[in-house]
Chains A and B, each alone.
Chain A
Amino acid sequence: MSEGEKVVKLLGAWPSPFVMRPRIALNIKSASYEFLEETLGSKSQLLLQSNPVHKKIPVLIHGDKPVCESLIIVEYVDQVFSSGPSILPSDPYDRSVARFWAAYLDDKWFPAMKAIAGAKGDEEGKALIQQLGEGLALMESAYHNISKGKPFFGGDRVGYLDIAFGCFLGWLRVTESHIGLKLLDQTKTPGLAQWAETFCADDAVKPVMPETDKLSEFAKLLMAKTASN
């Protein structure tokens, strides 16, 4: 059976930015897949079997083989569905730059954003917001250097770094409304503001980008659940 014929399943949840990543990648490749939604607060047998090490979503199951970790899944999809448009840049140096920024977002930027909701007191909150803002300034600069006047980090089309960063836009909007401050906008980050609009309107992204209102509701649910645990 060829790679393209094997069944693709994706274990995930609609609010997760990490789950969005492989979904965008599969859309870019016009690859059909079965989306298996996990329930908040419980982990399915299939998830525990397919990702025994981390027990986290997303997990891609291709044929009978699981692939874990969102960015690793994106690279896997890019390699397997080679007839579709490329997701990773073709030049090795450009790839290393894209991977570097994706790692920065996952290791430093997004954890700061997550921590804002649970920040104890003004001082901690302010420091995190500042860190977030500084990170966005770095990404604005990276966007200008990498896109070189084209609409996306990936050039003319959505690429690896667009996916790695764009998946956080929904939660960024929720955070901005929570703190009452815009961090990504025309004034502070004009390049990213335009990029964000173009990204969200892209055919591969639109069907899987959750509405900010729905995410806000979900965030309230999550905080209530966390508080009661």
Chain B
Amino acid sequence: MAGEVVLLDTWASMFGMRVRIALAEKGVNYEYKEENMRDKSPLLLQMNPIHKKIPVLIHNGKPVCESAIIVQYIDEVWKDKSPLLPSDPHERAQARFWVDFIDKKVYETMGKLWLSKGEEHEAAKKELLGIFKLLEGTLGDKPFYGGDSFGFLDVGLIPFSCWFYGFEIHCHFKMETECPKLMAWVKRCVQSRESVSKTLPDEKKVHEYTLAVTKVTTGA
């Protein structure tokens, strides 16, 4: 399906990465525009006036906002290649449920982890580990969350793996020890999907960026 595709995004955004991975899976050519969230472009403010956030996909001049909604849109429009949502209704509902869970819990808990100290920090660390273990349990023995193929929930979760290096340093644990199956899944995604290996930024760069942002946020 032809048409002009533009993505407003920032390089370190996990939500933006979801969209980039989905577009790559579908082989869609697009123009990438890096936003500065401290100086938002007129285009971003025009295309997402309600939330003023990235990512925003602009297809033939029309904006689509919210990463999970964008990925579903991409899957529905470019439906002839690499289907991301399962066709079985119950599996589809499960994939949506877990992406919704990630959206409600992971990002917020990560924020608590970086911005808190002492007891609060310990509690956030426990909570985050608990979340990853739950997600690991959901994977079971399947190669991907989508079963034999890379799907919606894989796309939804894989960008968060860039933060694992940072957690390990900040929280003094090894993801390999705590969640070995999840780490195996991460490796599998990176090694078998070019969309993933070409999209995920270097985890050390991400860690430096997180430290810098945390300093700005906490005024440390």
Contacts and interface: CB of A to CB of B under 8 A. Distances in A.
Interface of A: 3, 53, 62, 65, 67-69, 72-73, 75-76, 79-80, 92-93, 95-96, 99-100, 103-104, 138
Interface string B73-117: 100110000000000011011001100110000000000000000
A18 B59 CA distance: 32
A67 B66 CA distance: 22
Interface residues of B, number: 21
Given A76-B90, A76-B92, A79-B92, A103 B76 contact: no
Interface of A is mostly: helix
Interface in B55-71: 59, 62, 64-66, 69-70
A72 B100 contact: yes
Given A69-B100, A75-B96, A104-B50, A96 B90 contact: no
A93 B64 contact: yes
B134 interface: yes
Interface of B is mostly: helix
Contact of A67 (B93, B100, B101): B93
B69 A65 contact: no
Given A93-B62, A93-B64, A96-B64, A67 B73 contact: no
10 contacts: A3-B89, A67-B90, A68-B97, A69-B100, A72-B93, A72-B96, A76-B92, A92-B76, A93-B73, A103-B69
B129 to A, nearest CB: 16
Contacts of A67: 90, 93, 97
B13 interface: no
Interface of B: 50, 59, 62, 64-66, 69-70, 72-73, 76-77, 89-90, 92-93, 96-97, 100-101, 134
Contacts of A99: 66, 69, 72
Contacts of A3: 89
A169 B9 CA distance: 36
Given A53-B134, A104-B50, A73 B93 contact: yes
Nearest to A54: B101
A39 B47 CA distance: 44
Given A62-B90, A76-B93, A100-B65, 18 more contacts: A53-B134, A69-B100, A72-B93, A72-B97, A72-B100, A73-B93, A75-B92, A76-B90, A79-B92, A80-B89, A92-B77, A93-B59, A93-B73, A95-B73, A96-B70, A96-B73, A99-B66, A138-B50
